[in-house]
């Protein structure tokens, strides 16, 4: 059914504790569900494998939540279901998000043994005061130890996630943290500005005046400082928030940004297949209950009982989404390639982008549009203008 290999995202919606800034679909104090959840997840994976007629999978990403917190043999069950039900390429990139506090040599060996070949470590900061502000359950020393153990275990592809723009964080502290990260020479760095999302405890604290507001100008300065420091260290700034050494770009996330097909399994996971976007129900309990129901006969995409909603995209929608995603990448956007892919004019996109060039947000070079540094900082403004009328 799908010629192009797909990217498979596997959601693990459990965390030992919920961080104050987190608005992901993940839950603390729900670990009692894990033994039933994983077989339900394996059933969804098998169902999709059958419904899609065992397509090729080029990348697998265990995200969450905290995949590193649940017993490795349960993750192995999910991975086994993927390998049984899909044609997982022998060179597949298999990433696991991990919390530094969860790492032991035994767990690392188990993850390696099951085929995980890329780790994404939620370091967030090398400053314990910042980690406490974020209510993370690990310390900077845990992150250092976890990184060293991961290298000793043979992991050769490691991403570090760091957060900047925290209230009271100084430029010097941010630069210092970045230098510490660079001392480890990770293959990949993902840097995210702290956003205070509605509905989170942090948002409530800020509203009540119990936590300071973040300063967007300070945050922008930290982003620019990161661009400078990471360029000096020869990292390629290949996506707005992501830097990598050559050949270590995250293949899984590149599939999203190139608008290639992807399948997300687990509660709240989103998918894009056959020109349709669809997403699953959020509740892990309801998800598990629905996937436990017996299903006679062959699975079809329409029969998967945890899909909450589907939306078919027009060619104009697909063109706009592809343009917005492509602009996130350093590779840039080619209107000619868009027209060839969708068979409709990309004149509106090209015209809009040209109109943003005088403001210094976009540059046009030999048929390719790219965001400038200023454009990356104001990317949401650019993207809003590219949405279909
Ligand atoms: S560990 Fe990650 S997913 Fe879990 S609550 Fe914290 S930020 Fe959210």
Cα torsion angle, 286, 288, 292, 295, sign: positive
Are 242 and 350 members of one domain? no
- Report the CATH number at residue 225: 3.20.20.70
Domain count, the chain: 2
Determine the atom of ligand 1 nearest the C-alpha atom of 18. 5
Q: How far is the CA of 135 from the centre of ligand 1 (A)?
A: 10
Residue ranges in the chain assigned as alpha helix (H): 34-51, 72-85, 105-114, 128-133, 140-152, 171-183, 201-207, 216-232, 251-257, 284-292, 315-328, 335-342, 347-356, 373-377, 379-386
- Domain range for 372 is 315-386
Are 215 and 89 members of one domain? yes
122, 162, 199, best to mutate for ligand 1 pocket (most atoms within 8 Å of CB):
122
61, 64, 131, 266, best to mutate for ligand 1 pocket (most atoms within 8 Å of CB):
64
Q: Are 135 and 128 in contact (CB under 8 A)?
A: no
pLDDT of 1 reads 47
**257, 272, 306 - which closes a domain:** 257
Confidence of residue 287 (pLDDT cuts 50, 70, 90): very high
Residue whose tokens read 């959601």? 11
Q: To the nearest whole percent, how much of the chain has pLDDT over 70?
A: 99
Q: How far is the CA of 12 from the centre of ligand 1 (A)?
A: 11
Torsion of CA 315, 56, 115, 272, to 10 degrees: 20
Determine the atom of ligand 1 nearest the C-alpha atom of 28. 5
Tell whether 295 is covered by a domain.
Answer: no
Q: Which residues line ligand 1 (CB under 6 A)?
A: 15, 18-19, 22, 24, 26, 64-66, 99, 122
Are 205 and 342 members of one domain? no
Are 239 and 374 members of one domain? no
Indicate if the pLDDT at residue 127 is higher than 90: yes
- Report the CATH number at residue 360: 1.10.10.920
Are 55 and 145 members of one domain? yes
Are 241 and 331 members of one domain? no
pLDDT of 196 reads 94
At 90 the three-state DSSP class reads: strand
Name the phi and psi angles at 248, rounded to 5.
-115, 20
d(CA 156, CA 312): 39
Tell whether 33 is covered by a domain.
Answer: yes
Q: How far is the CA of 268 from the centre of ligand 1 (A)?
A: 15
Q: How far is the CA of 332 from the centre of ligand 1 (A)?
A: 31
* β-strands 262-265, 6-12 pairing: parallel
In this prediction, residues 155-166 reach a mean pLDDT of 98
d(CA 269, CA 11): 7
Q: How far is the CA of 84 from the centre of ligand 1 (A)?
A: 30
Are 23 and 115 members of one domain? yes
In this prediction, residues 195-200 reach a mean pLDDT of 95
Tell whether 307 is covered by a domain.
Answer: no
In this prediction, residues 209-225 reach a mean pLDDT of 94
Are 183 and 323 members of one domain? no
Confidence of residue 388 (pLDDT cuts 50, 70, 90): confident
Tell whether 166 is covered by a domain.
Answer: yes
Q: How far is the CA of 318 from the centre of ligand 1 (A)?
A: 31
**242, 257, 272 - which closes a domain:** 257
In this prediction, residues 359-379 reach a mean pLDDT of 96
Are 233 and 339 members of one domain? no
Confidence of residue 203 (pLDDT cuts 50, 70, 90): very high
Torsion of CA 16, 21, 25, 30, to 10 degrees: 20
Q: How far is the CA of 356 from the centre of ligand 1 (A)?
A: 36
pLDDT of 288 reads 98
Q: Are 100 and 158 in contact (CB under 8 A)?
A: no
Residues ≥6 apart with Cβ < 8 Å to 163? 124, 125, 130, 134, 191, 192, 193, 194
In this prediction, residues 204-216 reach a mean pLDDT of 92
Tell whether 290 is covered by a domain.
Answer: no
Are 365 and 247 members of one domain? no
Listed residue (343, 346, 305) closest to 324, CA to CA: 346
11, 13, 19, best to mutate for ligand 1 pocket (most atoms within 8 Å of CB):
19
**219, 235, 257 - which closes a domain:** 257
d(CA 35, CA 299): 24
Are 228 and 341 members of one domain? no
Q: How far is the CA of 138 from the centre of ligand 1 (A)?
A: 12
Tell whether 176 is covered by a domain.
Answer: yes
Confidence of residue 12 (pLDDT cuts 50, 70, 90): very high
Q: What is the DSSP string of 154-173?
A: T---EEEEEEE--TT--HHH
Name the phi and psi angles at 83, rounded to 5.
-70, -30
pLDDT of 213 reads 87
Tell whether 268 is covered by a domain.
Answer: no
In this prediction, residues 56-82 reach a mean pLDDT of 97
Tell whether 119 is covered by a domain.
Answer: yes
pLDDT of 168 reads 87
17, 21, 61, 66, best to mutate for ligand 1 pocket (most atoms within 8 Å of CB):
66
d(CA 97, CA 120): 5
pTM above 0.85, yes or no: yes
Are 248 and 364 members of one domain? no
């Amino acid at each position: 059914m799908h010629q192009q290999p797909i990217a498979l995202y596997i959601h693990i919606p459990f965390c030992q504790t919920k961080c104050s800034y987190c608005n992901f679909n993940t839950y603390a104090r729900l670990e009692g569900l894990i033994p039933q959840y994983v077989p339900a997840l394996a059933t969804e994976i098998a169902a999709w494998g059958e419904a899609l007629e065992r397509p090729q999978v080029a990348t697998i990403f265990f995200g969450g939540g905290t995949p590193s917190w649940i017993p490795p043999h349960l993750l192995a069950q999910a991975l086994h279901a993927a390998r049984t039900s899909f044609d997982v390429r022998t060179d597949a990139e298999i990433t696991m998000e991990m919390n530094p506090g969860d790492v032991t040599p035994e767990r690392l060996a188990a993850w390696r043994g099951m085929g995980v070949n890329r780790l994404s470590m939620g370091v967030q900061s090398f400053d314990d005061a910042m980690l406490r502000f974020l209510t993370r359950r690990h310390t900077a020393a845990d992150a250092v130890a976890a990184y060293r153990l991961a290298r000793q275990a043979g992991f050769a592809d490691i991403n570090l996630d760091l957060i900047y723009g925290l209230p009271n964080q100084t430029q010097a502290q941010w630069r210092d943290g970045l230098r510490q990260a660079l001392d480890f020479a990770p293959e990949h760095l993902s840097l995210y500005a702290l956003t205070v999302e509605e509905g989170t405890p942090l948002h409530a604290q800020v509203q009540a005046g119990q936590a300071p507001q973040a300063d967007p100008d300070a945050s922008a300065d930290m982003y620019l400082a990161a661009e400078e420091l990471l360029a000096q260290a020869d990292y390629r700034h290949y996506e707005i928030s992501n830097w990598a050494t050559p050949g270590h770009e995250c293949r899984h996330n590149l599939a999203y940004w190139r608008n290639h097909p992807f399948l997300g399994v687990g509660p709240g996971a989103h998918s894009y297949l056959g020109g349709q976007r669809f997403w699953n129900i959020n509740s892990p309990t309801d998800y598990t209950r629905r996937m436990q129901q017996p299903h006679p006969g062959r699975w079809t995409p329409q029969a998967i009982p945890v899909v909450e909603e589907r939306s078919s995209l027009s060619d104009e929608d697909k063109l706009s989404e592809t343009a917005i995603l492509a602009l996130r990448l350093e590779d840039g956007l080619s209107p000619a390639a868009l027209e060839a892919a969708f068979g409709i004019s990309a004149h509106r996109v090209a015209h809009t982008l040209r109109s943003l060039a005088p403001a210094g947000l976009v540059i046009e070079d030999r048929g390719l549009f790219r965001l400038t540094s200023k454009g990356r900082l104001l990317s949401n403004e650019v993207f809003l203008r590219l949405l279909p009328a």
